[in-house]
A and B are shown apart, each in its own frame.
Chain A
Amino acid sequence: MNTFEKLQAIKNQDLKATDNLESFLKKIENNNSSINAFLTINKDSARNKAKEIDDKIAKGANVGSLAGLVFGIKANINVEDEIISAASKTLEDYQSSYDATVIKRIKEQDGIIIGMCNMDEFAAGSSTESSYFGATDNPAAPGHIPGGSSGGSAAAIAAEMCDITLGSDTGGSIRNPASHCGVFGFKPTYGAVSRQGLLDLSMSLDQIGPLADDVSGMAVALDTIVGYDKTECTSLNQEFPVFTEVINQNSEKLQDYMKDMKVLCINQFSDVTDDHINNIIDDSVAKIKNMGAEVVDSSFNYIDLCLPTYYLINYVEFFSATRKYDGRKYGYKIEDVCGEEVLRRIEMGSYISQQEFSGKYYKKALQARSLIRNEINKLLSDADLILGPTVPKLPHKIGEKLEPMEMYAYDVLTVIANLAGIPAGSMKAGEYNGIPVGLQLQAKPNGDVKIIKAMAALNH
């Protein structure tokens, strides 16, 4: 049963929202202690909400477009009354007093929020090992990292603990764990989803997006969370497509979409990627070719510039964002209690942003970013999609010690979309030795719907 069908079943009273919730609660009860996908579970409020929805449906009253679907939320998105710890000791007791815009929208549409998902501390990582509350296991490849930083959100979907989760993606933090856990993950165009209520990692790169195990789940989530928010200045004030309409088609029609598509494969992307992964990606490319898409090999010459640019911007913006954690309002001063990666980023950010260096590093990084953005937009100006691997290597075993640069290397293919502000998604392309491998689809700004369409077509 895909998400469309489930929504219909709940509306038709073939499936009770309460039963949907209870089956997830049971899985969580059985498996969360070993997987550690959820940091907190709020059974009471979820049960009340489910009952309320069932009552409404029984009475024939109107319900929202998400009625009865169960959501897990990354622990860096504000949900009123929940502990929004960002998996840190700094905020271990921070109880939120407000709902992020995306949460308001989910609640308005009768989504049920079941709990907060584990993540890398303050989203600064690619493995979810840096959580103050312990690592998350990869349900699809036990013993391996689930990726990060939205590792809990991806693992919750892979372990079937809820219908949809929200993550945040700054340099791949949705797509990377989606790839490692073998689920769908999507980072919309920068500004398509309001960041109001999302804890900052790097404000000019952060974007909230959904994870799910089927495309229809992605579409219903996007229809809810995408849209203009007048309280958030980087939010795009424009019309957005209705994602559910686009993919709610029979499979022939979906495959027809691919006939007019021009798809780019970038040589430099496969150059930096593990061959086992490349082989699996090649299969996906062949599949899309069979559907009639025009596939063109192309070149992106700035790949070496991407990681340094990304991290310089990330360090400086993260340094700025964490100044509020000064120990006065939230219990601990961040530098006193944080993990080494968070401390590294703060210290680097503080160093780089000194007055004497501002022209040397940060401004240069912003210039490099423009260069990357222009180059990507040029590539996409006469193409619909860029197809390639999401992550260049397979996930390591939990606890294996990696040098910072080895850890950063996981991000090389995902940071580009954030630097350029373009939409990007990841879906499972196959497996190597039982470990999922993700296919990344990128499009030009506001081309989000093309990615969702292609995902739907490829999934059939």
Chain B
Amino acid sequence: MIIIKLWLLFLIIGGITIDMKCGLEIHVQLKTDSKLFCDCSTNYKEAPANTNICPVCLNQPGTKPFPTNEKALKNALTIALMLNCKIDKDITYFMRKHYDYPDLPSGYQRTSVPIGYEGDLNGIKIREIHMEEDPGQFKPDFGIVDFNRSGIPLVEIVTEPDMHSPEEAREFLKELIRVLNYSECARGEGTMRADVNISLEGGNRAEIKNINSIKGAYKSLKFEMIRQKNLIKRGVEVKQETRAFLESQMITVAMRTKEDADDYRFIPDPDLPPIKVQKKQLEEVSETIPEAPHNKVKRFIEEYDIDEESAKTLTSELKLANAYEIVVKSIDPKFAAMWMRDELKRVLTYNKLDFKESEISAENIIELLNLLNDKKITTKVGQRIIEKMPKNKNSPKEIAEELGLIGVVEKDEVLDTAKKTISENEAAVSDYKKGKETSLNFLVGQVMKLTRGKADPGETVKILKELIDN
């Protein structure tokens, strides 16, 4: 014991960090119109509580599951293939996982045996992928269980403990959500629920449940890492246990230890005979599988000769990447990348929209970039137009016309306006002459204002300087 403590002391004094291992179990809803085992609709968030229900998803006495939703299976297979998983061509079937909770009307959750296994995403190994049914939502505040969510299909993605820091786990989750977004088969981070396994060298493994976001996963890992480190430092054993993440306080608390861990009493569901994944079905899925984002990044760099940063930004969203590929058919890829990466993303971020929600089309972007290329508008005007583009029925040209921004002002007109500005702002001119650079900016601003931004800013500076200096 003393030796171990000395060894730990050595580690701490030596400043050697303790190795951390972390694995994830991520659940995300699959994108389907109907539930996994009945015909009820899946729009549970919009529907009033307990309206998207039937005897089957309420698991009333005597009901049996309808045949497994084929779209759900197809979506899960697509995701498995995008994560480079092997697919079991033989059969898949559902197990009953028994536990007692108010949101679970049958007393068990149906979860498939792995439909994909041994995949990977950016070097993190994927152990296996399952299909599952979502339970209802227990709402203690209202004293009700809302079963609208009961029976919605989920995909469960289980990784190997291949991540070594909270940051790495966060990066993985971001990339995974991006892949899911690309797959168009899942509903994204909003429906994510994750369990996290974490163990530090010299300690046992803790499982953290109740994580609902990437941020939550990161924060809980951070907290847990520090908590476990402190225990190890003090020579206290880290227990193998299940802990719950409290999002409001960003901490984890003990739920149960290994000794009283649940026994789920798994049995194959007798109501659902094994499904054979048909070779034809698998081929169909393979043919239509979307390119994974990390592969798209590589291709964009090579094909369009753009830098990695731009490629990553442009592929952050499938619709954006698709739009870019349309735009570059008629616009210089580098020029397009610059505008779409900097200006478009700035506007989207400001408006808290993703590209799809902005309703901006590739055609809109082409029109705008053509206006710039043809010098019908200045960069400044281009920026103002793009700010107006989200959720706008008018095209960039129409926006420009509406705001009277079309056309670049000729040099003569700029010269006239500059002269007028100088004569009307003597104080600023004399300040500038005394060396106050900002006064020149003010004068440029005045010219831009009078020309409604149609003057070229660089040209204006040059003209103003010439006029004042001479």
- Are B62 and A323 interface neighbours, CB within 8 A? no
- Are A233 and B66 interface neighbours, CB within 8 A? yes
- Are A326 and B100 interface neighbours, CB within 8 A? yes
Q: Which residues of chain A have C-beta atoms less than 8 A from B270's C-beta? A: 202-204, 234, 317
In the A-B complex, the 5 residue pairs with the closest CB atoms: A323-B107, A203-B270, A204-B270, A353-B265, A197-B62
Q: Which residues of chain B have C-beta atoms less than 8 A from A78's C-beta? A: 60-62
CA distance A199 to B63 in the complex (A): 7
Q: Which residues of chain B have C-beta atoms less than 8 A from A362's C-beta? A: 267
From A30-38, A93-101, A105-113, give the one contacting chain B.
A93-101
A431 to chain B, nearest CB (A): 36
Q: List 22 A-B contacts (CB under 8 A).
A: A96-B60, A97-B55, A98-B55, A98-B63, A202-B270, A231-B56, A231-B64, A232-B64, A232-B66, A233-B66, A233-B67, A234-B64, A234-B273, A320-B267, A322-B107, A323-B100, A324-B59, A324-B107, A326-B107, A329-B105, A358-B265, A358-B267
Q: Which residues of chain B have C-beta atoms less than 8 A from A18's C-beta? A: none
Q: In residues 315-353 of chain A, which contact B (Cβ within 8 Å)? A: 316-317, 319-320, 322-324, 326, 328-330, 350, 353
- Are A233 and B65 interface neighbours, CB within 8 A? yes
- Are B55 and A94 interface neighbours, CB within 8 A? no
- Are A355 and B265 interface neighbours, CB within 8 A? yes
CA distance A324 to B63 in the complex (A): 12
A77 within 8 A of B: yes
Q: Size of chain A's interface in residues, with CB distance under 8 A?
A: 42
CA distance A322 to B62 in the complex (A): 11
A277 within 8 A of B: no
Given contacts A96-B60, A233-B272, 5 further A-B contacts (CB under 8 A): A78-B62, A320-B98, A324-B59, A328-B102, A355-B265
* Closest Cβ neighbor of B102 among chain A residues: A328
With A204-B270, A320-B108 already in contact, the answer to whether A199 and B61 are too (CB < 8 A) is: yes
- Are A196 and B267 interface neighbours, CB within 8 A? no
B266 within 8 A of A: yes
A394 within 8 A of B: no
Q: Which residues of chain A have C-beta atoms less than 8 A from B67's C-beta? A: 230, 233
A23 within 8 A of B: no
Q: Which residues of chain A have C-beta atoms less than 8 A from B61's C-beta? A: 78, 84, 86, 91, 94, 96, 199, 324, 330
Residues of B whose CB lies within 8 Å of any CB of A are 55-56, 59-68, 96, 98, 100, 102, 105-108, 263-267, 270-273
Interface centre among B56, B64, B96, B108 (most CB of A within 10 A): B64
Main secondary structure of the interface of A (DSSP, over half): loop
Q: Which residues of chain A have C-beta atoms less than 8 A from B96's C-beta? A: 320
* Closest Cβ neighbor of B59 among chain A residues: A324
Q: Which residues of chain B have C-beta atoms less than 8 A from A231's C-beta? A: 56, 64, 66
CA distance A37 to B40 in the complex (A): 38
With A98-B60, A320-B96 already in contact, the answer to whether A354 and B265 are too (CB < 8 A) is: yes
Q: Which residues of chain B have C-beta atoms less than 8 A from A204's C-beta? A: 270
With A203-B270, A323-B106, A323-B108 already in contact, the answer to whether A77 and B62 are too (CB < 8 A) is: yes
* Closest Cβ neighbor of A358 among chain B residues: B266
- Are B263 and A198 interface neighbours, CB within 8 A? no
With A196-B63, A324-B105, A328-B102 already in contact, the answer to whether A234 and B267 are too (CB < 8 A) is: no
Q: Which residues of chain B have C-beta atoms less than 8 A from A328's C-beta? A: 102
- Are A97 and B60 interface neighbours, CB within 8 A? yes
Q: Which residues of chain A have C-beta atoms less than 8 A from B64's C-beta? A: 195-196, 231-234
B429 to chain A, nearest CB (A): 82
A76 within 8 A of B: yes
A411 within 8 A of B: no
A200 within 8 A of B: yes
Q: Which residues of chain A have C-beta atoms less than 8 A from B108's C-beta? A: 320, 323
* Closest Cβ neighbor of A194 among chain B residues: B64
- Are B265 and A350 interface neighbours, CB within 8 A? yes
Q: Which residues of chain A have C-beta atoms less than 8 A from B56's C-beta? A: 231
CA distance A200 to B108 in the complex (A): 14
A328 to chain B, nearest CB (A): 6
- Are A355 and B107 interface neighbours, CB within 8 A? no
B70 to chain A, nearest CB (A): 13
Contact mask A16-55 → B, CB, 8 Å, 1/0?
0000000000000000000000000000000000000000
CA distance A230 to B66 in the complex (A): 7
* Closest Cβ neighbor of A323 among chain B residues: B107
CA distance A187 to B364 in the complex (A): 68
CA distance A69 to B266 in the complex (A): 44
Q: Which residues of chain B have C-beta atoms less than 8 A from A197's C-beta? A: 62-63
- Are B107 and A353 interface neighbours, CB within 8 A? no
CA distance A266 to B55 in the complex (A): 44
CA distance A76 to B273 in the complex (A): 23
* Closest Cβ neighbor of A362 among chain B residues: B267
Partner of B271, one of A84, A91, A203, A316: A203
- Are B62 and A100 interface neighbours, CB within 8 A? yes
CA distance A203 to B267 in the complex (A): 12
A78 to chain B, nearest CB (A): 5
Interface centre among A100, A231, A232 (most CB of B within 10 A): A231
- Are A233 and B273 interface neighbours, CB within 8 A? yes
Q: Which residues of chain B have C-beta atoms less than 8 A from A76's C-beta? A: 62
CA distance A231 to B55 in the complex (A): 12
Interface centre among B105, B106, B265 (most CB of A within 10 A): B265
B275 to chain A, nearest CB (A): 9
CA distance A355 to B97 in the complex (A): 11
A349 to chain B, nearest CB (A): 9
Q: Which residues of chain B have C-beta atoms less than 8 A from A320's C-beta? A: 96, 98, 107-108, 265, 267
Q: Which residues of chain B have C-beta atoms less than 8 A from A316's C-beta? A: 267
Q: Which residues of chain A have C-beta atoms less than 8 A from B65's C-beta? A: 233
Contact mask A104-138 → B, CB, 8 Å, 1/0?
00000000000000000000000000000000000
Q: In residues 49-92 of chain A, which contact B (Cβ within 8 Å)? A: 76-78, 84, 86, 91
Q: Which residues of chain A have C-beta atoms less than 8 A from B105's C-beta? A: 324, 329
- Are B271 and A233 interface neighbours, CB within 8 A? yes
B192 to chain A, nearest CB (A): 27
* Closest Cβ neighbor of A351 among chain B residues: B265
- Are B98 and A234 interface neighbours, CB within 8 A? no
CA distance A232 to B56 in the complex (A): 11
- Are B60 and A355 interface neighbours, CB within 8 A? no
